[in-house]
């Protein structure tokens, strides 16, 4: 994973009215500068100029291969915040979150039905390897924490959520990082959680979601 060294200065606190996240492809030259930033096709056009202004200030540690600095490509997870700066006046703040391979789930993730009925939640950390062909292998689950009513006891709940998380990772597709013009395998770490959102009232129900973000 490429090492991100420098970020733009923080903008003074302003009211955030909306935020949007996207993975932006960054081509890094042999000096560690961003030579090109390519946003995803579905990124709103209003953010394009903000990306170019931000990356001009970013610096990465140059990638070395056989003692020689080479070009590279990584994906930066960016949060775009729309800021209200005054009456009818808005601006955009670009907040870099993490970099590495770009990760996306190819199908909806499922909350374990028995855990949802018991109103049990969980969080964990997952480590895995994004392969050059975009597959994800070597999945490792750690630091599982469960809360709420623990159906079958904590051990059973942890096992159910770990199994569900491993199944979810099978639906993960990666865009790998590149070094010297070729895709490479990259180990990444990501938080992963299952949380319930209650709907109050007669016949109340709950929905669950599992979300992950690369670090």
* Model confidence pLDDT, tens digit, residues 133-186: 999 999 999 999 998 888 788 899 999 999 999 999 988 999 999 999 999 999
Q: In this structure, are residues 101 and 75 in contact, taking their beta carbons and an 8 Å threshold?
A: yes
User: Can you tell me the distance from the alpha carbon of 211 to that of 209, in angstroms, rounded to the nearest whole number?
Assistant: 6
DSSP H helical ranges for the chain:
48-55, 113-118, 154-169
Tokens of 109: 């993730």
pLDDT tens-digit readout, 52-72: 888 888 999 999 999 999 999
Q: What is the pTM of this model?
A: 0.80
**For residue 23, how many other CB atoms are within 10 A of its CB?**
24
Characterise 87 by phi-psi region: left (phi > 0), alpha (psi -120 to 50), beta (else).
Answer: beta
Q: What is the pLDDT of residue 26?
A: 96
- Beta-strand pair 68-70/63-65: antiparallel
* pLDDT for the residue 198: 52
């Amino acid at each position: 994973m490429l090492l991100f060294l420098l970020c733009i200065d923080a903008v003074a606190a302003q009211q955030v009215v909306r935020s949007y996240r996207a993975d932006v492809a960054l081509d890094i030259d042999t000096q560690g500068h961003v030579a090109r930033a390519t946003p995803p096709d579905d990124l709103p056009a209003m953010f394009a100029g903000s990306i170019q202004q931000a990356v001009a200030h970013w610096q990465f540690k140059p990638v070395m291969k056989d003692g020689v600095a080479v070009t590279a490509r990584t994906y930066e997870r960016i949060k775009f915040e729309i800021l209200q700066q005054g009456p009818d006046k808005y601006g955009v703040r670009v907040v870099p979150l993490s970099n590495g391979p770009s990760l996306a789930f190819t199908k909806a993730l499922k909350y374990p039905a028995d855990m949802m009925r018991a109103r049990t939640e969980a969080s964990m950390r997952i480590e895995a390897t994004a392969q050059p062909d975009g597959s994800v292998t070597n999945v490792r689950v750690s630091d599982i924490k469960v809360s709420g009513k623990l159906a079958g006891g904590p051990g059973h709940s942890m096992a159910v959520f770990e199994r569900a998380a491993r199944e979810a990772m099978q639906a993960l597709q990666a865009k790998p990082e590149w070094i010297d013009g070729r895709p490479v395998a990259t180990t990444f770490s990501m938080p992963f959680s299952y949380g319930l959102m209650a709907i109050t009232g007669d016949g109340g129900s709950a929905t669950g979601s599992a979300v992950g973000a690369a670090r």
